Structure 1
């Protein structure tokens, strides 16, 4: 029992030390399509308008995050706000979270409408695509208060305005981003000297129409120029 306890405590100490070493120094890394990506060189450049570009270079490809300001918080990628985007380049492939047509990923309610009841798989109309169905929650006054994607359809684009059928057909939502182009960048610390945060994205190559996914991304104490 004592031997087991000793090995257990040793493992905890080793893991803690390993994390401490990793994050005592600037770092820019993540998982790209399940494989570890870690920048061997990186930079963060602030523009005159207040936006910031974080670049990481590695043999496994280059990652670039563009953010509209250094304010703390989360930016959604793949939306009509093209000031916020991510890209990944490898050889001749250039993946980006730009505007493209695909199945719906994220939506935002813009008008609650009237005459609705809480329902699932509700039909929709409008936008450039087809086949999108949603689950809705309505209050006692028949106003939609929540909407979630159930069937994502296809060929929609960020910015599409979609109407929820049933009720009085006057509840609407906006497509924020799509399956082939989405993600988030969160700034957790900025002191005017370095910047830290986390990110994830799905980006597409317009030529090959292939996608790449990045998860668990971290940028830590990157010096800002």
Structure 2
């Protein structure tokens, strides 16, 4: 199955890219419906407990952030902890974490990041596809990316999420969701340790994303102990 997927991804690149050579890292897609966009730099990292995949050229950057570091499909928009970000040549940031202004009747913020394979090479590399609709923070400006593909993007580390404000928002939302489950859990039930640990991990992710100058979040983490 892995070989079939690798062949399929490579076939997509042969169709849409010129001069692509076997196994060369790449990240590309269709920008705003009609422009082929290619990255000249590609890297990935594990951040906030998930993959951070980045492609950029001389002027623009695409970042894909997943909620965990495993293969799978990650839906974007709404309360999703996964997010796609585009920074244009003027420094304007578009994100699937931003909602469109109610006055607009275009597309909602949505999309998908599909991590199809984590290749166990040295370094590890990521293969998958993506598409998304995103907005600026005020919800008034729209951007879309379709037919996106990342192929053999190396897991090198050292990346920083562009739009940390959105990541903080997503982390805060995940804490709220985890707290609801934790608050409803019976401490004597077999499921309690896993529910407690999920809440603890969400709090830790919020600290990493948002900071914790008051120490209140860390105090909550400490109060949970070993979740046993």
| TM-score of Structure 1 vs Structure 2, range by shorter chain | 0.5 to 0.7
Confirm or deny that 1:69 pairs with 2:92: no
Q: Offset at 1:36?
A: 0.8
Q: Offset at 1:208?
A: 6.8
Residue of structure 1 equivalent to 2:35 = 35
Q: Which has the higher helix share?
A: 2
Mapped to 2, the partners of 1:76 and 1:216 lie a distance apart of 15
Q: Which has the higher strand share?
A: 1
The higher relative CO (CA closer than 8 Å, separation ≥ 6) is in: 1
Mapped to 1, the partners of 2:25 and 2:95 lie a distance apart of 25
Q: Offset at 1:57?
A: 1.1
Mapped to 1, the partners of 2:22 and 2:83 lie a distance apart of 25
Residue of structure 1 equivalent to 2:155 = 224
Residue of structure 1 equivalent to 2:141 = 210
Q: How many residues align?
A: 137
Mapped to 1, the partners of 2:22 and 2:136 lie a distance apart of 32
Q: How does 1:24-103 map to 2 (within 5 A)?
A: 24-33=23-32, 34-47=34-47, 50-81=49-80, 83-90=81-88, 91-101=90-100
Once the two structures are superposed, residues 109-152 of structure 1 have per-residue CA deviations (whole angstroms, 9 ceiling, x without a partner) of xxxxxxxxxxxxxxxxxxxxxxxxxxxxxxxxxxxxxxxxxxxx
Q: TM-score, normalised by structure 2?
A: 0.53
Q: Offset at 1:100?
A: 1.4
Q: Offset at 1:87?
A: 0.6
| Closer/same/farther in 2, CA of residues 21 and 39 from structure 1, 3 Å limit | closer
SS in 2 for 1:70: coil
| Closer/same/farther in 2, CA of residues 208 and 45 from structure 1, 3 Å limit | same
Q: TM-score, normalised by structure 1?
A: 0.54
Mapped to 1, the partners of 2:84 and 2:96 lie a distance apart of 6
> Considering only aligned residues, what root-mean-square deviation do their CA atoms show, in Å?
2.8
| Closer/same/farther in 2, CA of residues 102 and 199 from structure 1, 3 Å limit | same
Q: Offset at 1:35?
A: 0.4
Once the two structures are superposed, residues 81-103 of structure 1 have per-residue CA deviations (whole angstroms, 9 ceiling, x without a partner) of 2x200010111311100141568
Q: Offset at 1:72?
A: 1.7
Is the 8 Å Cα contact of residues 27 and 42 (structure 2) preserved in structure 1? Answer: yes
* Rg (Cα) greater in structure: 1
Mapped to 1, the partners of 2:50 and 2:145 lie a distance apart of 22
Confirm or deny that 1:191 pairs with 2:106: no
Q: How does 1:119-158 map to 2 (within 5 A)?
A: none
Is the 8 Å Cα contact of residues 70 and 187 (structure 1) preserved in structure 2? Answer: no
| Closer/same/farther in 2, CA of residues 219 and 190 from structure 1, 3 Å limit | same
